[in-house]
Amino acid sequence: MIGSVKGTRDLLPPETRVWGRVEETAREVFALHGFEEVRTPVLEPTELFVRTVGEATDIVHKEMYTFVDRGGRSVTLRPENTAGVARALVEHGLVQAAGVRKLWYAGPQFRYERPQKGRYREFRQIGAEVLGAADAATDAELLVMLFDFLGRLGFTGLAVSLNSVGTQECRPAFVEALRAYLEPFAGRMGDDDLRRLKDNPLRVLDTKDPAVKEVLPGAPQMVDHLDPASRAHHEELLALLSDAAIPFRIEPRLVRGLDYYTRTVFEVTAGGLGAQDALLGGGRYDRLVSDLGGPRTPGIGFAIGEDRLVDVLPQAFREEALASFAPVALVAIEPADRPSALALARTLRAAGISVDLDPAGKGPGAALKAAGKRGCRRAVLLGQREREAGTAVVKDLVERTQAEVPQAELTAYLKG
């Protein structure tokens, strides 16, 4: 037997019903906020991520699936999607057009990580990007949309963790202050944190090493090194979130894992999830497009790990999604009933009723048993007697009741 590749998994019914309903909800909510869907290639030039995500990040340094194709080009399975969206807009000249672009996506990403519960090497993300708007109101509106989406999924106790990482103009002074503070503690650091300290000290703030975490509370804070414009942006965002009744808290060591962020970075948490309460993260990236050869175009976005999101979904939403797939089983009792069953199935489907057609196989008893296992709540039986009378027998497979209904009234009966 050939199994799946380590770190990947198959998503099968009925669980795919839950995934589908989550993505339908995202599509509905994002559309209400003016977002359109974008789909970019899974395979991108390696340089795209080295230039945008950052060569010193763990993603580029040791997590990307990179290989040389048969044409001698270095290509990478995308580890995240923001860079690909920005690349697409630059390549197709869409950022030169006037106006703000609001785009969302859903799809697989790839990182070579140690597989563990809720973490896979092929994982799926739902994300959104706003290109062309630099104001704090855009940041606030994006967070309002996220609260709407997560609220519809049933999450409660939502809150935003916020920080500002400034701009590339004011950040160097903070980086040097942070490096000066951390260097005396280099003896506590492992190889990864030593590399981060040398290449980009901001990454040390993301450390997982408990010994290094112990010294971080005394580290300098970016908020104390912000330029006036970044400080004004940050304070306006806080005021807008307060006005919108969006709970937030300031996290001075929150930097996120990508080098392209500027000013606002954030994570959204939910209640009842324990220590691992973050559902998603994102931030502003006002120089990403220009770094890819496009015009100076501000942007902000987020990405949700869909695998974990589905794992921690509130039970009520999950149960509703699982129950949402309930086609009507249509059973032809004898082979001679098949043509009539096929015609009736077409009529019901044209009226918007999902039909799972079972043309006479092992008999109606076996067909009804199989229909129940497939999640059908009701079954329509059609035999010679029903054909001649212009009726059909409708069985409720849960309540174990039945009724004989004229075929002319069947659509209304099933919908009712």
What is the three-state SS of the chain? CCCCCCCCCCCCCCHHHHHHHHHHHHHHHHHHCCCEECCCCCEEEHHHHHHHHHCCCHHHHHHCEEEECCCCCEEEECCCCHHHHHHHHHHCCCCCCCCCEEEEEEEEEECCCCCECCECCEEEEEEEEEECCCCHHHHHHHHHHHHHHHHHCCCCCCEEEEEECCCCCCHHHHHHHHHHHHHHHHHHCCHHHHHHHHHCHHHHHHCCCHHHHCCHHHCCCHHHHCCHHHHHHHHHHHHHHHHCCCCEEECCCCCCCCCCCEEEEEEEECCCCCCCCEEEEEEECCCHHHHCCCCCCCEEEEEEEHHHHHHCCCHHHHHHHHHCCCCEEEEECCHHHHHHHHHHHHHHHHCCCCEEEECCCCCHHHHHHHHHHCCCCEEEEECHHHHHHCEEEEEECCCCEEEEEEHHHHHHHHHC
Q: How confident is the model over 313-333, as pLDDT tens digits?
A: 999 999 999 988 889 999 999
| Residue 187 banded pLDDT, cuts 50, 70, 90 | confident
Percentage of the chain modeled with pLDDT above 90? 62
Confidence of residue 359 (pLDDT cuts 50, 70, 90): low
Domain 326-415 classification at class level: alpha beta
pLDDT at position 97 is: 66
What pLDDT was estimated at residue 202? 82
- What residue spans in the chain does CATH classification 3.30.930.10 cover? 15-170+226-319
Mean pLDDT for the stretch of residues 41-54: 90
Tens of pLDDT, residues 149-169: 999 999 999 999 999 988 888
Q: How confident is the model at residue 372 (pLDDT cuts 50, 70, 90)?
A: confident
CATH architecture of structural domain 15-170+226-319: 2-Layer Sandwich (3.30)
Q: Which residue ranges does the chain devote to CATH 3.40.50.800?
A: 326-415
pLDDT for the residue 361: 64
Give the model's pLDDT for residue 280.
95
